Amino acid sequence: MRPDLQEVQKIGNLIEASQRILIISHRSPDGDTVGSALALYHILKGQGKSPELYCIDGMPSEFNFLPNIREYKQTELTLDYDAYISVDVGATHLTGLHESHPELFNKSLPLINIDHHYSNDYFGQYNVVMPTVASATMVVYYMAEMLNYTIDRVAATALLTGIYTDTGSFMHSNTSAEVLRVAAKLLSKGADRHSISKEIFNTTKISTMHLWGRVLKNTHQTPDGVTMSVITKKDFEETGADYSEMTGAVDYVNSVPNSKYSVILTERDGKVKGSLRTLQDDVNVAEIASKYGGAATSKQRDSLFLVAWNKRCAGK
Ligand SMILES: [Mn+2]
């Protein structure tokens, strides 16, 4: 599968005619939104353009090894750019700009929406949305190839970062033959696989160690195979960890043998966040999460919900 040729050509023409281009990442930035944005930033600079990077949240330190990561701006936005590109943004509210800058998303501005989420409702003037593809960086890769943009070592490393993080280091079920083909092409272009795996997957802060220690200590399994753990506000305070340091904990909890699915309940700003994960084909955690008002981004194997701290949970 490849992006729609006509749409990509229109985007190529828009970029050709634009000078100042704003690239927007989603809040709580992950390797895919950052990798897509940094690859585009580098490629567009190579085309003689003046790209800028925007994210409403700061960058996690594990991405410090990526060139140009410090170019991200969090300052007040003035919408005077020639073009806009959102990357890995499955829904407009994930930018944190939907209320302050609604004109970005009502098709009145030249916004290019590059994404791979089923939830994406084609909010851009231009849209390249491929829900069957494992990462937004793969969509960027296809587009760059189609437009004959050069993918050098810097761009290849940024693109491979998104593949690495969205496939959980090639361990999630979305690791298709096509993922490995694209990863192989990026490696042959000089992508720095060693830095990605070391900086993102094999570097753990002491506060994360302590937080995960509590997650693991609190883990138990019900007789019907639900593996659960719980983390309170006090755990965050005492370990000095922040919410982002919970990333990946639910996958680890789910590794207990005979897990039908796993849940971590986290106390967060007066609410309880439930993170659910399964590796079973016959378990749909999105359905379970939806009983508690599950998030729009929920998937069959990977879901979230948020309930008020004092709300009594009905049912299971
Ligand atoms: Mn993604």
pLDDT exceeds 70 at position 155: yes
The answer to whether 116 touches 134, Cβ cutoff 8 Å, is yes
Query: So what's the pLDDT on residue 300?
Result: 79
What is the whole-number distance in angstroms between the Cα of residue 220 and the centre of ligand 1?
31
Crossing angle of the two packed helices 136-146 and 177-188, in degrees rounded to 10? 60
What is the whole-number distance in angstroms between the Cα of residue 116 and the centre of ligand 1?
7
| Domain covering 5-201 in this structure, CATH number | 3.90.1640.10
pLDDT exceeds 50 at position 281: yes
Per-residue pLDDT of 22-46, as tens digits, reads 999 999 899 999 999 999 999 999 9
The answer to whether 264 touches 253, Cβ cutoff 8 Å, is yes
The answer to whether 110 touches 125, Cβ cutoff 8 Å, is yes
What is the whole-number distance in angstroms between the Cα of residue 162 and the centre of ligand 1?
7
What is the whole-number distance in angstroms between the Cα of residue 233 and the centre of ligand 1?
28
Query: So what's the pLDDT on residue 305?
Result: 83
| Domain covering 206-308 in this structure, CATH number | 3.10.310.30
What is the whole-number distance in angstroms between the Cα of residue 35 and the centre of ligand 1?
10
What is the whole-number distance in angstroms between the Cα of residue 134 and the centre of ligand 1?
7
Per-residue pLDDT of 86-126, as tens digits, reads 999 999 999 999 999 999 999 999 999 999 998 899 999 99
pLDDT exceeds 60 at position 237: yes
Tell me the backbone φ, ψ of residue 302, rounded to 5 degrees.
-150, 105
CA separation, residue 306 to residues 148, 243, 295, 309, 310 (Å) = 44, 14, 8, 9, 12
What is the whole-number distance in angstroms between the Cα of residue 140 and the centre of ligand 1?
11
What is the whole-number distance in angstroms between the Cα of residue 33 and the centre of ligand 1?
6
Domain map (residue ranges) of the chain: 5-201, 206-308
Query: So what's the pLDDT on residue 145?
Result: 97
What is the whole-number distance in angstroms between the Cα of residue 115 and the centre of ligand 1?
7
pTM: 0.83
What is the whole-number distance in angstroms between the Cα of residue 166 and the centre of ligand 1?
6
What is the whole-number distance in angstroms between the Cα of residue 217 and the centre of ligand 1?
31
DSSP H or E run through 263? strand 261-268
